Structure 1
Amino acid sequence: MTFDFDKHINYFLSNLRMLPSAYTETETNRMTLAFFCLAGLELLGATDKVISDQNKHDWIDWIYAQQILPTKDNENELNKTHCGFRGSSWSGRSFQPHASHCEYQPYDSAHIANTYTALMNLLILGDDLSRVNRKAVLTTIRNLQQADGSISPTDGSLERDVRFIYCASAISYMLNDWSAIDVESTIEYIKRLQSYEYAIGQSPGEESHGGSTFCGVGALTLMNHQQDGLLNKEKLIKWCVSRQSSGFEGRPNKKADTCYCFWIGATLKVIFL
């Protein structure tokens, strides 16, 4: 079967411009869906060929309009755990891509995964991140990190898993500022995620999984602590290679799935950097 570049490019473009009806229920995560499309176009070498300068300008403004900023009268308090980027304009805030502050709304919060994909989207579109309130983003991450080294995706969330450690690490790497993360406790937490197979689960004591293994290895690599963070690299490599059948599976005795060609393949790639 021949890979149809044009069909893939047109699919990504159509999803950027309007979500298909089957995806509209995920509107609150539109930022992340946009990242999948933009990253796909970038991997195909098509970004500058098929996206006009006007579209880039408009989409960059849309991304900045989703930025949750400090409040004007109490910059360091009301929004200190809410800043970053939301997934879409679902909350009904006015479109203000050049704002420097915003009003506090308790249920309108940034999400660490959408902050990660927003920064990625901006960089793919050629933005210089000059409108990102770096201090506010980093203050929020600092407040989302827990005493055990894990990181929550939003203020008050009970989720604590390695996906959000990866997002926080990627944000810190892109902003070139690691002051928001307690790196030592984060490394110790990732060590606790490594099972008897030496791959990585989402939370301590959980089964190793292809997606969480990539997130853990990716975070350690971004922190430049892969060597001291991985308990047994050779056995981890063996676990990854053992996931291959017709494609790659995410866990032992599961069916192969195309997404794990990325998660497992990227893990192996990062390990051998």
Structure 2
Amino acid sequence: MLDSLHVVNKAEIIEWLYSLQVLPTEDKSNLDRCGFRGSSCLGLPFNPSKGHGIYHPYDSGHIAMTYTALSSLLILGDDLGLVNKEACLAGLRALQLPDGRYSYENALGQGAGLEAHGGSTFCGIASLCLMGKLEDVFSEKELNRIRRWCILRQQNGFHGRPNKPVDTCYSFWVGATLTLLDIFKYTNFERNRNFILSTQDRLVGGFAKWPDSHPDALHAYFGICGLSLMGESGINEVHPALNVSLRTYKHLQQIHDSWKAKNYEKSSNHLHVST
């Protein structure tokens, strides 16, 4: 987002990220656990390859870490060539429920009948937008109720649930949801911007959850993305559904195009051989 990737060793970070991939064992008994883990805390051997995994009873991918790893690889310019796509999809399918519901508050909770939450509302709306299914799932009346719930989350910045304090990260979670629902322009940009900047640490840099708190990487990133949604100068434009820069999104599109071209070539060769 800040055009500063040159200050890190991209190759080393890419290799480390791949070492956190939970790969299928030879018998594929752990397919429902594949994806990316969040750290190397289990002490498994360093393995950044695409070969067979090593079974460990407590080893499992995590849906948030899988998203984070894939996004980070794209940001770093990787072509995802070492990602075991089939295994990642199998791990995601294992988490899928037969039905999906939203909460009594008209936004989305983390489970059926649970309190609505700014983060889970973003995940649901962003996923549907990426699939082009938002209007298929929600009626216009339902979407207006979600819009109302989200826009009421602003005080100066945004909070994630009613009666909770404002928090830097929700300037992105709720702000991006409102952007996807095409009403972010009706929020108060000046108050939101002032809140985000009030959480910035003037000595060490970064953004915190609240003013006069310690900054951390998560809130620094979402603070910058929240500013990007408002068109802050000097910051790359963020893709509101994918939560990465538009530059990274274009890189992903190029990878998709190359995959499609390879699949088309394989299909053409197969057709030529069969005829």
What interval of TM-score do these two structures reach, taking the shorter chain for normalisation? 0.5 to 0.7
* Contact 2:50-2:83 at 8 Å conserved across structures: no
Distance 1:202 1:143, change over 3 A: closer
Matched, 1:127 2:81: no
Establish whether residue 193 from structure 1 lines up as the match of residue 147 from structure 2.
Answer: no
Q: 1:253 to 1:66 in 2, by over 3 A?
A: closer
What are the Cα deviations for residues 181-222 of structure 1, in whole angstroms up to 9, with x where unaligned? xxxxxxxx1xx2143x42112211122221121111112112
Equivalent residue, structure 1, for 2:146? 236
State the distance in 2 between where 1:240 and 1:268 align.
7
SS in 2 for 1:266: helix
SS in 2 for 1:144: coil
Give the number of equivalent residue pairs. Answer: 181
Inter-partner Cα distance in structure 2 for 1:113 and 1:230: 25
Look up the SS of the partner of 2:169 in the other structure.
Answer: helix
The one-letter amino acid of 1:69's match is L
Structure 1 residue aligned with 2:234: none
Instruction: Give the structure 2 partner of residue 202 of structure 1.
Output: 110
Distance 1:223 1:138 in 2: 16
**Distance (whole Å) between structure 1 residues aligned to residue 158 and residue 91 of structure 2:** 36
- The within-5 A match list for 1:46-65 is 46-47=4-5, 49-51=6-8, 55-65=9-19
> 2:145 aligns to what SS in structure 1?
helix
Ranges in structure 1 where 5+ consecutive residues have no aligned partner: 1-42, 150-188
2:94 is equivalent to residue 139 of structure 1: no
Query: What SS does the corresponding residue of 1:64 show, helix, strand or coil?
Result: helix
- Residues 1:253 and 1:143: Cα distance change in structure 2 (over 3 Å): closer
Q: Does 1:100 align with 2:51?
A: yes
Give the C-alpha shift of residue 99 in structure 1. 4.3
Describe the shift of the 1:144–1:248 C-alpha distance in structure 2 as closer, same or farther (beyond 3 A): closer
Give the aligned residue type for 2:13.
W
Matched, 1:70 2:24: yes
1:207-226 matches, cutoff 5 A? 207-226=115-134
The one-letter code of the counterpart of 2:7 is V
CA deviation after TM superposition for structure 1 residue 100, in Å: 0.6
Structure 2 residue runs without a partner (length 5+) = 183-239, 241-275
Question: Hey, what's the Cα distance between the residues in 1 that align with 2:110 and 2:93?
Answer: 21
Specify the SS of the correspondent of 1:122: helix
- Give secondary structure in 2 for the equivalent of 1:141: helix
How far apart are the structure 2 equivalents of 1:266 and 1:94? 39
Counterpart position of 1:109: 60
Matched with 2:31 is 80
Three-state SS of the structure 2 residue aligned to 1:81 is helix
Map of 1:157-168 to 2, 5 A cutoff?
A: none
Deviations 1:72-111 (A, max 9, x none): 2x1x3x1211211111111112212124112211111211
* Selected match of 1:256 from 141, 151, 166: 166
Q: Cα distance 1:121–1:234, how it changes in 2: closer, same or farther (>3 A)?
A: same
**Alignment partners' CA distance in 2, 1:235 and 1:193:** 12
**3-state SS in 1 of match to 2:113:** coil
Q: Rg larger in 1 or in 2?
A: 2
Q: Quick one: which amino acid aligns to residue 65 of structure 1?
A: S
So what's the TM-score if we normalise by structure 2? 0.61
Which amino acid in the other structure matches residue 141 of structure 1? L
